[in-house]
Amino acid sequence: MKTSTKPTSPLRYGIIGFGRFARRRIIPAFQQITDSSITAIQKRKPGEAAIEAESLGISTGYDSYEELLADSAVDVVYITSANHDHTEHAIASAKAGKHVLCEKPLANTPAACEKIIAACAQAGVKLMVAQTLRYSAPVMLLKQWISAGKLGKISSARACFTYLLETSPRSWIRDKQMAGGGPLADLGVHCIDTLRYLSGTVREAVGFTSPKGQENDIELSAEGLLHFEDGVTGSFFCSYQTPYWNRLAVWGEAGHAWVEPCAPPGTDVELKFRDPYGEIAINRINTGNPYGKLIKAFSDAICHDTDVPISGSEGLINQQIISSVYAGNHYRRA
pLDDT given at position 2:
45
CA distances from residue 234 to 33, 63, 143, 172, 173 in whole angstroms, order as listed: 35, 43, 15, 30, 27
Contact residues for 282 (Cβ-Cβ < 8 A; gap 6+):
270, 271, 272
Q: Note the pLDDT tens digit of each residue in 214-246.
A: 666 899 999 999 999 999 999 999 999 999 999
Q: Note the pLDDT tens digit of each residue in 132-151.
A: 999 999 999 999 999 999 99
- Are 295 and 101 in contact by the 8 Å Cβ rule? The answer is yes
pLDDT given at position 171:
85
Q: Note the pLDDT tens digit of each residue in 170-220.
A: 888 999 999 999 999 999 999 999 999 999 999 999 999 999 756 668 999
Q: What number of H helices and E strands is found in the chain? A: 12, 15
Is pLDDT at 309 greater than 60 in this prediction?
yes
pLDDT given at position 213:
55
Packing angle of the helix pair 110-123, 312-327 (nearest 10 deg): 160
Label each residue of 124-192 as H, E or C: CCCEEEECHHHHCHHHHHHHHHHHHCCCCCEEEEEEEEECCHHHCCCHHHHCHHHHCCCHHHHHHHHHH
Q: What is the mean pLDDT of the chain?
A: 95
Of 108, 163, 99, 160, nearest in space to 133 by CA: 160
pLDDT given at position 191:
98
Edge-to-edge strand list for the sheet holding 60-62: 60-62, 36-42, 11-16, 76-79, 99-103, 127-130
Domain with CATH 3.40.50.720 in the chain: 11-132
Pairing assessment for the beta strands 233-239 and 60-62 based on DSSP bridges: unpaired
Contact residues for 233 (Cβ-Cβ < 8 A; gap 6+):
155, 156, 157, 225, 226, 227
| Cα separation, 163 vs 160, whole angstroms | 11
CA distances from residue 306 to 64, 140, 290, 310, 326 in whole angstroms, order as listed: 31, 21, 20, 12, 35
Is pLDDT at 4 greater than 70 in this prediction?
no
Partners of 255 in beta bridges: 252
| Cα separation, 261 vs 291, whole angstroms | 17
- Are 163 and 265 in contact by the 8 Å Cβ rule? The answer is no
**Percent of the chain residues past pLDDT 90, beyond the cut:** 92
* CATH no. of 137-287: 3.30.360.10
Of 57, 54, 49, nearest in space to 15 by CA: 49
pLDDT given at position 275:
96
- Are 221 and 193 in contact by the 8 Å Cβ rule? The answer is no
For residue 8, how many other CB atoms are within 10 A of its CB? Answer: 11
| Cα separation, 85 vs 178, whole angstroms | 8
For residue 307, how many other CB atoms are within 10 A of its CB? Answer: 8
Domain with CATH 3.30.360.10 in the chain: 137-287
* CATH no. of 11-132: 3.40.50.720
